[in-house]
Structure 1
């Protein structure tokens, strides 16, 4: 039985396509520096970036290459689970693959002081500050608990879970029919005016307003009775 097992292992090891491509440590360091530099450019001040590099797909059999260039694929996220491109620029075959990476960004952020149900209006006692990986999940975090007082949770949070923007109910800045301050901005100019809201102003959402002249424009609700119109 032992001889049969050893024979099977040897046969499997000899099968084509099972050898995993091993990347040079110097190349992996270039990948790490590229991912870390990109993450730092988008990270808030006083944060720490850590990069964990994964492995190429074990099924890949890449032709020998004298020069491999790491690069950031267009549109690829630089936080959390991402990928770094590797292209062969000097070899028998010009291959192009991606290498998985995980980018953590550690910083101070507001977290739940204990389990919180959906619908609760946040108070100072329910919030705390902690060092977390702010890149672990999508959504902006908060660094000042005062900005969250009175906000309503849209979903439950676990103890020590970060309070992220998607977990909060959108605020209604004004109701339909109210007079709002409108800032109209374009390339090289900005003017302010008053208008009547034609719908409720929900935080971050589009809203239509009517000026005294009768002209109707679409903008975005940005604050208490405030609308931004970008031309």
Structure 2
């Protein structure tokens, strides 16, 4: 009895496999008989859509749509296809772009995952930089790096870094971010400074004493040692404060 049941099961399995194979061949013949949408065209449209929405220099972008399943069979869209993203979706490092066919006779829709990498020339440490030592122009360089995941934590101008102090040791090749730096005081409270008083093309120098610490670009109060008058000016460099008359 068991032997007959085993033979019956094997016969059923062979029959099911034959039916499935015949169904697959039939579906394949239908797919080849009708025109199908090129998968590369779908991927290209998704990539072009992302690039157009980012409004950035294409040379600074690497946009790659994921490969689509080669078994996918979509009727060729004779009218037009439309690319879109869902409401509220942001174009970050990864996004799903919808592509849909608007034909009256053949409507379909598919989502294509797209990876986005944004590049920019950013400030990078050219050598090992010790903590607390003022950075000079030879300590840094500009390199093209991927910044997609940095969320704004990078600098693009050497002038933004020179003269600042690393809060920690920076290894060679490290992207320098604002969080890693602190400005040094170019003027210290009680320090003798030079007051540069400017009006149009006229510049007058006088001696003064700083009444507060000051970083470059910061406004501090200074007492003129001759007139004893207290004025407010901007720290322009080490030991110099500029005021406008």
Q: Please indicate the TM-score interval, normalised by the length of the shorter structure.
A: 0.3 to 0.5
What TM-score results when the alignment is normalised by the length of structure 1?
0.46
Higher helix share: 2
What TM-score results when the alignment is normalised by the length of structure 2?
0.44
